[in-house]
Amino acid sequence: MNLALIAATGIVLNCRGPEQAVSSEVIVLVNSNSPEVTKGTQKLIPYLNHFGVSFTTADLAEGSLPSGPEKPALIIVSHPGIAADDMTLTGLLEQYLKKNQASGTGIVSFDLLVPDSLLDFEGDEPGIDPDVGELVFPPEKHYITAYHQPGEVKDLFGYMAVPIMTADNARVLLTGNNHPLLVVAESASGKIVQWTSQDWMYSSVLGPMGGLDDCLWRSVVWAARKPFTMQAIPPIVTMRVDDVVGSGRQQWDETPLHWVRTVNKYGFKPWLSLFIYNLTPEGIEELKELVNSGSATASPHALGRPPRPESSQEHFDAYYEYQMVKDHFIPDYYHPTAIPYLSDYYDEFIFFDHNNRRPWSDDVAAKALKAVDDWYAEVGPLPRSNYLIAHWGEMGSNTISHVANNWGIEFIAKSKILDKAWGDDAPSIKQGPFGLYDEPMVGIPKKVQPRFRSSYSADFIELAGEEFFAFSSTISDITGYELEPDNDVEATADRGIRTLRRGLESKSLAVLFTHETDYIFRVRPENWDAIFRKISQGIAQYNPVYMTTDEALKILRAHHTSAIKNSSFNEGTGELQIIMSGHTDVPTNVFVYTEVNNEVKEMLVEIPVFKDSTKVEVILDKP
C-alpha cells in the first residue's frame, strides 16, 4: 500500500552551488565523564532511534566541542551535567551553542543549566521538589503540546523530582507542582527547547508509551531548522485478537467470525491468534475467505480449549488463575481428529507445558507441532501468518526451529527468555527500542498505581539459534493489559480511541488488542458494530492507514534495517535530497517537516525498495 503523500522520483539533481545547500544534520552531545550520562545514552538515544532521527553523537569527555558539521539543523544536549563540572567546558559549550543558534540551528537541552538564558533558580541555592505526582499542561496550545488539551493533567505512576526554578525568559509548556518541566524560547535566528528533568522517561514514573512521547518528538521537530527529516513509522493501525475460536454461531447464531467482518467495515484487518481445534468447519471456511481476501491474517496460538468441565475455572486451582478473566468462553466444538489431551485441565498448549510450568519433552513438543501441521494439511489450503504469539507467551526452545524453518515465522512476540513459565522470575529478553538496558528505580512509588505499564518492542532477537524480528505493543495503563470490550458502547469506544491515539501520537505502530474468549464473545453484534464505528471516527483525524499485521511488520522491520544517512536542502532550487542507507524489502517512508508562517507542516515521502543506499529528491516550495 502506498503511504506517500508526496511521490519521490528517486532521481537526484545536482545542487546549484554549495553555499545554497543546508544540512539536516543532528548533533547529540553526551559526556561519558558525567554521572548522568546514561540518561542520554540509555534513555534519550533509544527514543531518537525509535523516532528515526538521524544523528551523530559527540562525546565531550575530552573537553572539546565538535568541529563540524557547519550549521547543523539541531543540537541536542542529551542529559544533565553535560559539562561534568568543568567550568572551562561550560564556557566553551555556551559559545558553541550561541554560535550555532545564530546560524539557525535549533537546540533541545536536557541540562537545566545549558543554555543558561532561560531558567533561574528560586532563591540563592538550587532546590528540588521530589514529590511531583502529576504534570499539568498550560491553558494555551503550542505545537509541542498539540495532542493535549489545555489544562490537561497527566497522572504519573510514581513521584518524580523536578528542579525548583523560574522561567522568566521562556514560555512554560509543562509543569509539575507549578515548577517548569518543559520550556521553549525562540528568536529570529533559532529555537530552544529545555527539559528540566528526564525522570518521566523511567517506567517507575511514566516511561515510554506512557503518554508524553509525543511532546518529545515534537520538541525535536519544532526546534530543528526546517526542512527536517525523520524516519518515523507512518500512522499505521492494526488489530490483534488472541484466543480466537469463532464463537459467533454458538453465542449469537451469527457466522463464527462475524465480528471480524464487522471490524473490516471500518478498515480494521485483524491478526487472529487461533485455538485451531475449536474452529468449526463453517468457521474454517469463513477464516479462509477472510485470509484470502486480505481482510485478516492468522497463525496458531494453542491447540484449543476442550469442551470439558475442567476447562472452566471453577473446576481447577492453578497458580495463574488470578490472571484469568472469570467465566471465559468454552466452545462446544473440538476437532474430531484432535490428538489426545496433553493437559488435565484448562487449555491445550502447543509450545509449552503451561500447567506444569516447564517445556514439553522433545517427544511431546514434536507431537504438538505435528498436530498443528496435520490440522493445516487437513483443513487447507489456509495461508498462515508469519507472525506468532504463543499462548501465555510461553515457548520451549525445542519448538523454535520448527516454527522458523517449517512454518516460516519471521516475526514473533516474546518478552521473557525461553523455557520459563509465565509468572516465573525470569530475565526479560533485551530488545529495543526501550528494553535494551536494565532500568534503575527512579522517583518515589505511589501507594496506589496501575498494575500494568505500557510496553513496546520492535527489534531483532535470537531464539535458540534462529533470528526473528520481535514486535509487541500493549497500552496497558488505560484498561489494564488490553481493550476489555463490553456492551457499554461509549466506554469501550473511548478506551479503543485512547489506546490507538497513544500509539499514533508516539510515532509507533498502533495496535488494538483483545481476546475473543475473554471479551468479544460477550459483546452483542449491534454493540460491536457501534463500538468500531465510533473508534474509526475517533481516530480519523490522524489519517490512519489500516493494514494487516503482516504488512505492517514488514514496514516496521524495513525501518529497522534502513536509516536516513543525510538530507540536505538547496535553497536556490527548493530541492530536498534524502540519502538512505541499509536495505529494505518493502517501500518505506520519511517524514518531511517544513514551516510556513510559524506553522509546522508534516508530509510523507515514499522511499522505494533499495539495497545498500538510495537517493530521492522532493521539490519543496522555496522559503
**Of 3.20.20.10, 3.20.10.10, 3.40.50.880, 3.40.50.1000, which CATH number belongs to 25-224?**
3.40.50.880
Grid cell 497513544 in the structure block, residue: 502
| Residue 598, phi-psi category: left (phi > 0), alpha (psi -120 to 50), beta (remainder) | left
Which of 279, 321, 327 lies closest to 299, judged by CA? Answer: 279
- Yes or no: say if 473 and 503 are a contact pair by the CB < 8 Å rule: yes
Percentage of the chain surpassing pLDDT 70? 96
Predicted local distance difference test score (pLDDT) of residue 623: 54
Average confidence (pLDDT) over 452-470: 95
Taking the C-alpha atoms of residue 502 and residue 552, their distance in angstroms, rounded to an integer, is 17
Q: Give pTM, 2 decimals.
A: 0.94
- Which of 18-22, 114-118, 619-623 comes out lowest in average pLDDT? 18-22
The C-alpha cell that represents 260 in the structure block: 471480524
* pLDDT bracket for residue 129 (50, 70, 90): very high
**Residues whose CB is less than 8 angstroms from the CB of residue 548 and which lie 6 or more positions away in sequence, other chains included:** 238, 269, 271, 294, 296, 297
Residue 480 confidence (pLDDT) above 90? no
- Between strands 599-607 and 588-596, the pairing is antiparallel
pLDDT tens for 302-333 read 999 999 999 998 888 888 888 888 899 999 99
- Which of 40-49, 450-459, 479-488, 542-551 comes out lowest in average pLDDT? 450-459
Q: What does pLDDT average to over the chain?
A: 93
**Residues whose CB is less than 8 angstroms from the CB of residue 290 and which lie 6 or more positions away in sequence, other chains included:** 257, 260, 261, 264, 296
pLDDT tens for 383-417 read 999 999 999 999 999 999 999 999 999 999 999 99
- Which of 40-54, 314-328, 432-446, 481-495 comes out lowest in average pLDDT? 314-328
Residue 368 confidence (pLDDT) above 80? yes
In one-letter notation, the amino acid at residue 234 is: P
Q: What ranges do the domains of the chain cover?
A: 25-224, 248-542
Distance linking the first and last C-alpha atoms of the chain? 32
- Yes or no: say if 246 and 517 are a contact pair by the CB < 8 Å rule: no
